[in-house]
C-alpha cells in the first residue's frame, strides 16, 4: 500500500473521533525545534585557543569516527541532518563555537565570532539560539563560575554573561526574530560543601548583574535558566538546583529551562510543566533522555517524550513552550544520532496533536473515568505511523527508514574522510 493510501485510511480512523489529521500535520511541521550544534563535535567547541588553554568539554562518551572539528564541518553535518528531518528547525549555538582568527577570551567575545553562523543561518532560512559557555575553560576548572568565591573570577564570568546577551541580541536582529538564550552553569561540589548558602547568594548576585543590562532588548534576547540535580564532579551539590532556578525565574520574570535528564533518576518532568506555567511565562524544554543518570542519550519516541508533549497539548500551551534538544552520543554515527533524536521529538509533537483531548476532557468533566482511561489506551494503537509517513512525504524528507541509506552514504563520502 502506498503512503497516500495508508494515510487516507488512517485519516478516516482519526476523523471518526473528530480529529483533523491534515491540521495536526500542518501544525506539527510549523513548530520550531532547536537543534543543538554540539552533537556534531561532542561538545568540544572550536575557539581559537593558545596552546595549553583547555578545560575539556562536557563529557560525551564514545569515539565513533567522523567527528566534526570546525565550523565548516559542523555546518555541513547540520545541513545533511536537516535534510533528513521534517519541519521547521532552528540551530542552537554555544559561545565556545565562536570562530575568530585570534584568541578571544570568553569575557571579550562579540558577535563578530559568530558572523559565519549568522550568514549560514540566513542562507538556510533558519533562526539561531544561543548559550553562554561556563565550562571548558581554565577559570571553570575548580567547579565554580558565576558563584565563584574569588571576586575576579566571578567578575570574569559575569562579563562573559553580559557579552553573551549582546551576541544573542545581535543574532535576533539579524534574523528578525527572538534568540532564545539558555543559562546553564556547572557550579557545584563533588562532596558535602561546608557552605551551600554562600555560592547560591553569589549566583543570584551574578545573574542579577548580568540581567541588569538594560541596553539589551528582552524581546530579542529571551533568557531561560536551567537547573540540574547533579553532574560528574558535582554529585553532592549543584548551586543552580531545581528550586534555585524556579525561584529565580519566578522572582525575576525570567524563563525556566527544564532538561529531561536533570531530575532524580525515576522522576519525570511532564507533571511539573502545568505547575511552573502558572507562575512563569515560558518554559524552554531541553529534550533529552537520561539512562540511569543524566547520560544525554539520543532521544527516542518513548513514554517520557510522549507524556511531555501530551501535557502541552492537553494544557493547550504550545505557544508557551520553546523546544530545544540536548543530547550527545559520540559512540554512534553523529548524523544518525541527530536524525533519530530530532525525528523522535517531531513524532512526539504529532502524536500529541492527534490526541483526542476534547473527548478525554469531556469524559473527565462528566466523571466518566473508565471511558477516559479506555480511550487513552485505545489511542495507543491508532494508525499513527501512517500519519507520520505522510508528514515526512509532505515535508519532502525520506519516509520511514529510507534515511538510513543516506546517512551511510554521507558517512562514507564525508565523515570517514576527515
Ligand atoms: C548540561 C546542560 C546543558 C548542556 C549544554 C551543552 O547538563 O544540560 O544544557 O548540555 O549547554
Ligand atoms: Zn540541557
Q: Each residue's pLDDT tens digit in the chain (418 positions)?
A: 999 999 999 999 999 999 999 999 999 999 999 999 999 999 999 888 766 555 555 778 999 999 999 999 999 999 999 999 999 999 999 999 999 999 999 999 999 999 999 999 999 999 999 999 999 999 999 999 999 999 999 999 999 999 999 999 999 999 999 999 999 999 999 999 999 999 999 999 999 999 999 999 999 999 999 999 999 899 999 999 999 999 999 999 999 999 999 999 999 999 999 999 999 999 999 999 999 999 999 999 999 999 999 999 999 999 999 999 999 999 999 999 999 999 999 999 999 999 999 999 999 999 999 999 999 999 999 999 999 999 999 999 999 999 999 999 999 999 999 9
Ligand 1 centroid vs 355 CA: distance in angstroms? 31
Q: Is 187 in the pocket of ligand 1 (CB under 6 A)?
A: no
pLDDT at residue 111, rounded to an integer: 98
- The atom of ligand 1 lying closest to the CA of 131 is 11
pTM of the predicted protein model:
0.97
Considering the candidates 228, 270, 276, 306, report the single residue annotated as catalytic. Answer: 228
Q: How far is the CA of 312 from the centre of ligand 1 (A)?
A: 23
226 a catalytic residue: yes
The region, left, alpha or beta by phi > 0 then psi within -120 to 50, assigned to residue 411 is alpha
Q: Nearest residue CA, atom 11 of ligand 1?
A: 184
Structural domain boundaries of the chain?
Answer: 27-67+88-345
Q: What is the pLDDT of residue 49?
A: 77
pLDDT for the residue 51: 63
Instruction: Please give the CATH architecture assigned to the domain spanning 27-67+88-345.
Output: Alpha-Beta Barrel (3.20)
Whether 131 lines ligand 1, by a CB cut-off of 6 Å, is yes
- Pocket lining: 38 vs ligand 1, CB cutoff 6 Å: yes
Cβ count within 10 A of residue 59: 14
* Ligand 1 close to Cβ of residue 226 (< 6 A): yes
Atom index in ligand 1 nearest the CA of residue 288 equals 8
User: Mind spelling out the 3-state secondary structure of the chain?
Assistant: CCHHHHHHHHHHHHHCCCCCHHHHHHHHHHCCEEEEHHHCCCCCCCCCCCCCCCCCCCCCCCCCCCCCCCHHHHHHHHHHHHCCCCCCEEEEEEHHHCCCCCCCCHHHCCHHHHHHHHHHHHHHCCCEEEECCCCCCHHHCCCCCCCCCCHHHHHHHHHHHHHHHHHHHHHHHHHCCCEEEEECCCCEECCCCCCCHHHHHHHHHHHHHHHCCCCCCCCCEEEEEECCCCCCCCCCEECCCHHHHHHHHHHHCCEEEEECCCCCCCCCCHHHHHHHCCCCCCEEEEECECCCCCCCECCCCCHHHHHHHHHHHHCCCHHHEEEEECCCCCCCCHHHHHHHHHHHHHHHHHHHHCCCHHHHHHHHHCCCHHHHHHHHHHHCCCCHHHHHHHHHHHHCCCCHHHHHHHHHHHHHHCHHHC
Give the CA distances from residue 6 to residues 16, 297, 382, in Å, rounded to whole numbers and listed in that order. Answer: 16, 32, 12
311 neighbors 277 (Cβ within 8 angstroms): no
CA–CA distances in Å: residue 396 to residues 266, 276, 351, 392 = 38, 37, 20, 6
Which residue has cell 518532568? 269
Of ligand 1's atoms, which has the minimum distance to the CA of residue 58? 6
Amino acid at each position: 500500500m502506498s503512503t497516500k493510501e495508508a494515510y487516507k485510511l488512517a485519516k478516516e480512523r482519526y476523523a471518526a473521533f473528530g480529529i483533523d489529521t491534515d491540521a495536526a500535520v500542518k501544525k506539527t511541521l510549523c513548530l520550531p525545534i532547536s537543534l543543538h550544534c554540539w552533537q556534531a563535535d561532542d561538545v568540544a567547541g572550536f575557539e581559537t585557543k593558545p596552546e595549553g588553554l583547555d578545560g575539556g568539554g562536557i563529557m560525551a562518551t564514545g569515539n565513533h569516527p567522523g567527528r566534526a572539528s570546525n565550523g565548516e564541518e559542523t555546518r555541513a553535518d547540520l545541513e545533511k541532518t536537516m535534510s533528513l528531518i521534517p519541519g521547521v528547525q532552528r540551530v542552537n549555538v554555544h559561545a565556545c563555537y565562536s570562530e575568530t582568527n585570534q584568541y578571544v577570551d570568553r569575557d571579550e567575545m562579540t558577535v563578530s565570532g559568530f558572523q559565519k553562523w549568522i550568514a549560514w543561518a540566513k542562507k538556510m532560512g533558519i533562526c539561531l539560539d544561543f548559550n553562554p559557555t561556563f565550562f571548558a575553560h581554565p577559570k571553570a576548572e575548580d567547579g565554580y563560575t558565576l558563584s565563584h568565591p574569588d571576586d575576579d573570577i566571578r567578575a570574569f564570568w559575569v562579563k562573559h554573561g553580559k557579552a553573551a546577551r549582546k551576541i544573542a541580541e545581535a543574532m535576533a536582529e539579524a534574523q528578525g526574530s527572538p534568540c532564545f538564550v539558555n543559562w546553564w552553569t556547572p557550579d557545584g561540589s563533588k562532596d558535602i560543601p561546608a557552605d551551600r548558602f554562600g555560592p547560591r547568594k553569589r549566583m543570584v548576585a551574578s545573574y542579577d548583574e548580568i540581567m541588569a543590562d538594560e541596553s539589551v532588548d528582552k524581546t530579542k534576547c529571551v533568557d531561560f535558566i536551567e537547573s540540574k540535580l547533579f553532574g560528574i564532579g558535582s554529585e553532592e551539590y549543584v548551586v543552580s538546583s531545581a528550586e534555585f532556578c524556579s525561584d529565580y525565574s519566578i522572582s525575576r520574570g525570567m524563563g525556566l529551562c527544564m532538561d529531561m535528564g536533570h531530575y532524580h533518576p525515576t522522576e519525570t518532568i511532564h507533571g511539573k510543566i502545568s505547575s511552573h506555567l502558572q507562575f512563569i511565562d515560558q518554559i524552554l524544554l531541553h529534550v533529552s533522555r537520561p539512562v540511569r543518570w543524566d547520560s544525554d542519550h539520543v532521544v527516542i519516541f518513548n513514554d517520557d517524550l510522549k507524556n511531555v508533549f501530551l501535557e502541552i497539548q492537553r494544557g493547550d500551551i504550545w505557544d508557551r513552550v520553546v523546544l530545544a534538544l540536548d543530547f550527545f552520543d559520540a559512540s554512534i554515527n553523529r548524523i544518525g544520532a541527530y536524525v533519530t533524536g530530532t525525528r523522535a521529538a517531531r513524532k512526539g509533537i504529532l502524536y500529541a496533536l492527534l490526541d483526542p483531548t476534547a473527548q478525554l476532557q469531556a469524559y473527565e468533566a462528566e466523571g466518566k473515568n473508565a471511558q477516559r482511561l479506555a480511550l487513552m489506551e485505545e489511542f495507543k494503537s491508532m494508525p499513527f505511523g501512517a500519519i507520520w509517513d505522510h508528514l515526512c512525504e509532505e515535508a519532502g524528507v525520506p519516509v520511514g527508514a529510507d534515511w538510513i541509506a543516506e546517512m551511510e552514504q554521507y558517512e562514507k563520502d564525508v565523515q570517514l574522510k576527515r
